[in-house]
Structure 1
Amino acid sequence: MTKTLEPVNTIDELPNSTTVVIIGGGVIGVSAALTLAERNIPVVLLEKGHIAGEQSSRNLGWVRKTNRHAADVPLALAADQLWTHMPERIQQPVGYTQCGIMFLAKTEEQMAMFETWTDSVQALDLGSRLLSASEIDQRAPGGKGQWAGAIYTPSDGRAEPSMAASAMAKSAIEKGAILVQNCAARTLSTSGGKVTGVVTEKGEVRCDQVLLAGGAWSRRFLGNLGIALPTLPLVASVLRTRPMEGPTDISVGGPDFSFRKHKDGGFIITQRSALNAPLTLDHLLVGWRYISQLRAEGGSLRVSVGREFFEDLALARRWSANKRSPFEKVRTRDPRVNPGLNQEALTNLIKAWPAFTDAEIEEEWAGVIDVTPDSNPVIDRIEALPGLTVATGFSGHGFGTGPAAGHLAADLVSDTTPIVDPGTYRFDRL
């Protein structure tokens, strides 16, 4: 969580019943609650900590179509429209601007990958184009990097994680949704093999449908129900500079850094090619499924063994409804920042754009992302437990598609024609 996260005031009293219960107050859950409230469908959202306290306020804020899997682009296109009209829809700003996103290539091999991706989405008319080194310099002057080229999508953009989910949550409340913070969902109530309610630390809420949008916690919640979700927790470290003059308002992704303008005039920077992997039991159980994926994407994991392993091991993987759950023991997952990784990102960026030489760090933070084996999320009904829908596993890409992903999840729980074909996000593919 950044220190600029806007708080949301919610009620403490838990209703006895509703139509839909949403577990998780990140951008996906909040977007779904907003959509359902606008349809006059009674909905209660439960958040164990506070709204957007974890990855929904800790991400980079990119809203992109570029370099997504081709099957995932329709959801990103739908999100573009929802982001564009969000301020009008909720009567509050979310920091959205269509600034464009540019990914840089160091080698001809990387340029060939960009060209292959551009060809794969040509029918979607995204406006993406390949740039030469001179065209990069025109859009981001003062650079010293030796680039083979870039891929650039002018219609991509950014929004502000510190304000977006909070603003949507406030609007959802105004439109009739009930949001309850500091209230952990322990498990589900069932009858005749179907969901009938959610058992929380404050009591039970009876309902017809449940949407689980618990981010990196979803695997543990489902595991307690006997449902296996093979997501892997990884940690991204991020920094924000103080206000400064930069080379461009375009968001830029380099091989080993990325930067984008922040609403306060500084820049959000990260080491784009590396993530931390503090070992936990999940890494040992499902990590083998990710080896080929990481190699294909050219990323690296900074693996470490430390207190995180034992802290995770101390959290139960099975518990009963009348026992304190792991979600009450850890309200907000706040992983340690890797300052070395952030400094590495800044050093790499300075070599490429010396304008960042005098950048001063205003704050640093880290967040846990839940990665699936194919980097696409799960947005699907769970056939093994009718009445349960899951929207999780967004693999660090969920903020940008958040409004559309929440909308799609709301479509599924309310049996409405989906905003996009949900086939790409089937649970059974995993």
Structure 2
Amino acid sequence: MPGPRVVPVHGDEDLPSRVDAVVIGGGIVGCSTALELAERGVSVALCEKGGIGQEQSSRNWGWVRISRRDPREVPLMAEALRIWPELDRRTGRDTGYRRAGIVFTCADDAEYERHESWPRNLQGYQIEARMLTPAEFRSLVPGAEMDIKGALYTPADGRAEPQKAAPAIAEAARDKGAAILTECAVRGIETSGGRVSGVITERGAIACSSVILAGGAWSNLFCGLYGLDLPQLKVMNSVLRTKPLEGGPEQAVWANGFAVRKRQDGGYTVASGHENVVDIVPKSFRYAMNFLPALRQEWRSLNFRLSGRFLDEARIPGRWRMDEASPFEYCRVLDPKPSERLSNRALANLKRAFPAFEAAEIAQRWAGYIDVTPDAVPVISAVDTIPGFHIATGFSGHGFGIGPAAGRLMADIVTGRPPVVDPHDFRFSRFSDGSEIRPISGF
């Protein structure tokens, strides 16, 4: 099943012998980090094992939202909402960004109460979020036929095109002097005197003083090579897009049975509002206790299955030599088969809510692996035990919208600038320093 059609980025032919920083991973977070560093005059090489934005960065819903975020992410997402409107001008390319608002509907009183309390997280940010009555919802979103108690509406939220955003940012980083290396897996890092001194890629070595791992779902495997235990698992989300359609909502809308947002081409991206597939793999057992608090909250929305993925991951070696092909070279792109059952159900629910979608024609389906942490909060952090090594991963399905700000924060950490937001909640050491690790209920 082919993935979404991503704007192609042709990698550089020449491998630099030395740069200040190497970014591992060409998703939106890695590309944003590379752009931020390059704009500050830092020489940088971005190494991607496959193509730019080919995995979850192009497979997500395309939502740019602060609403219903974990409160620990709100300061960084507020920064992202300042960055996104300038990205087209800054990159000189089209990301498809538009501020159109996002609506989270409330099916019952309990859900309304949870949503009603959320806007207090925006105090001090000059970002509006308000509750809508059913009548106000129908006025804002014409064509909806939904029996709801109300809705949370955040006008500052928006949407962008995942198949365009990471490529645009990568090309802009190259414009600023970054080397963009595709089909160039990093096999490992080199150290000298206990700190990072370079990386070994499949095409040769690059000397550097800083490495940023923005490897998405592959980050746990890479970290394990150096005895770093990053608790991370994968969740599969299935998506479909429709051909252009008249009469659908301008705002992105979430409901228990569907999530929908308008695309730049006039079609719509559609997915389940809450259901995902979880493949049981060997690391499911290793990290079972880490994820138990999250499982207690989210088990109703998770479809566990035992599939061929168990054996696929069981065969992946945990260690490899630098002069041999790494697992990253044997699987360039994670391209799982989507669940037609879940996406068909989402589309059926959408048709009941918005009769205009009775005319919808499915143009394409795909699925992607979301990399999740036990507290559903990312790691954006230096690694104390390996000076010069940094991690930006574990965005738990929230990475697309927050990606440009995550890249800014990561660049601050690498260069020693005052951080754009307090990075304490994103520290890697929280998994080993005795901190309580759990998601915040309701987000």
Deviates more, 1:198-207 or 1:314-323: 314-323
Distance in 2 (alpha carbons) for counterparts of 1:203 and 1:274:
42
Compared CA separation, residues 158 and 141, structure 1 to 2 (3 A): same
Alignment of 1:84-233 (within 5 A): 84-233=85-234
Instruction: Tell me the equivalent position of 1:80.
Output: 81
Distance in 2 (alpha carbons) for counterparts of 1:23 and 1:221:
10
Instruction: Tell me the equivalent position of 1:404.
Output: 405
Distance in 2 (alpha carbons) for counterparts of 1:239 and 1:290:
29
- Runs of 4+ with deviation above 3 angstroms: none
CA shift, 1:70, in A, is: 1.6
Distance in 2 (alpha carbons) for counterparts of 1:11 and 1:90:
18
SS in 1 for 2:220: helix
Deviates more, 1:412-421 or 1:364-373: 412-421
Instruction: Tell me the equivalent position of 2:436.
Output: none
Q: Which residue identity does 1:371 align to in structure 2?
A: V
CA shift, 1:116, in A, is: 1.9
SS in 2 for 1:349: helix
Instruction: Tell me the equivalent position of 2:325.
Output: 324
| Contact 1:64/1:156, CA 8 A, preserved across alignment | yes
Task: Provide TM-score, normalisation by structure 1.
Answer: 0.97
Distance in 2 (alpha carbons) for counterparts of 1:211 and 1:3:
26
| Contact 1:261/1:268, CA 8 A, preserved across alignment | yes
CA shift, 1:298, in A, is: 7.0
Deviates more, 1:416-425 or 1:18-27: 416-425
Deviation track 1:287-323 (CA, whole Å, cap 9, x = no partner) reads 3433432443575111111111111111111222222
SS in 2 for 1:233: strand
Instruction: Tell me the equivalent position of 1:417.
Output: 418
Q: Which residue identity does 1:238 align to in structure 2?
A: V
CA shift, 1:417, in A, is: 1.7
Distance in 2 (alpha carbons) for counterparts of 1:142 and 1:173:
44
Deviation track 1:173-218 (CA, whole Å, cap 9, x = no partner) reads 1110001110110111012211111111111111000000000000
Q: Which residue identity does 1:296 align to in structure 2?
A: Q
Distance in 1 (alpha carbons) for counterparts of 2:182 and 2:5:
19
| Contact 2:50/2:182, CA 8 A, preserved across alignment | yes
Compared CA separation, residues 294 and 126, structure 1 to 2 (3 A): farther
User: Percent same amino acid at aligned positions?
Assistant: 42
| Contact 1:258/1:271, CA 8 A, preserved across alignment | yes
Deviates more, 1:283-292 or 1:164-173: 283-292
Task: Please state if 1:28 is matched with 2:32.
Answer: no
CA shift, 1:406, in A, is: 0.8
Instruction: Tell me the equivalent position of 1:392.
Output: 393
CA shift, 1:2, in A, is: 4.3
Q: Which residue identity does 2:332 align to in structure 1?
A: R
Deviation track 1:211-263 (CA, whole Å, cap 9, x = no partner) reads 00000000000011100000111111000001001332000011121000001
Deviates more, 1:42-51 or 1:2-11: 2-11
- The gaps in structure 1 that reach 5 residues or longer are none
Task: Provide TM-score, normalisation by structure 2.
Answer: 0.95
Deviation track 1:75-117 (CA, whole Å, cap 9, x = no partner) reads 1111111111111111111100000000011111111111222
SS in 1 for 2:343: helix
Distance in 2 (alpha carbons) for counterparts of 1:296 and 1:352:
27
Number of aligned residue pairs: 430
Compared CA separation, residues 349 and 287, structure 1 to 2 (3 A): farther
Distance in 1 (alpha carbons) for counterparts of 2:95 and 2:228:
35
| Contact 1:294/1:300, CA 8 A, preserved across alignment | no
Distance in 2 (alpha carbons) for counterparts of 1:298 and 1:403:
31
Distance in 2 (alpha carbons) for counterparts of 1:94 and 1:128:
25
Distance in 2 (alpha carbons) for counterparts of 1:380 and 1:251:
32
Deviation track 1:59-85 (CA, whole Å, cap 9, x = no partner) reads 111000000012211111111111111
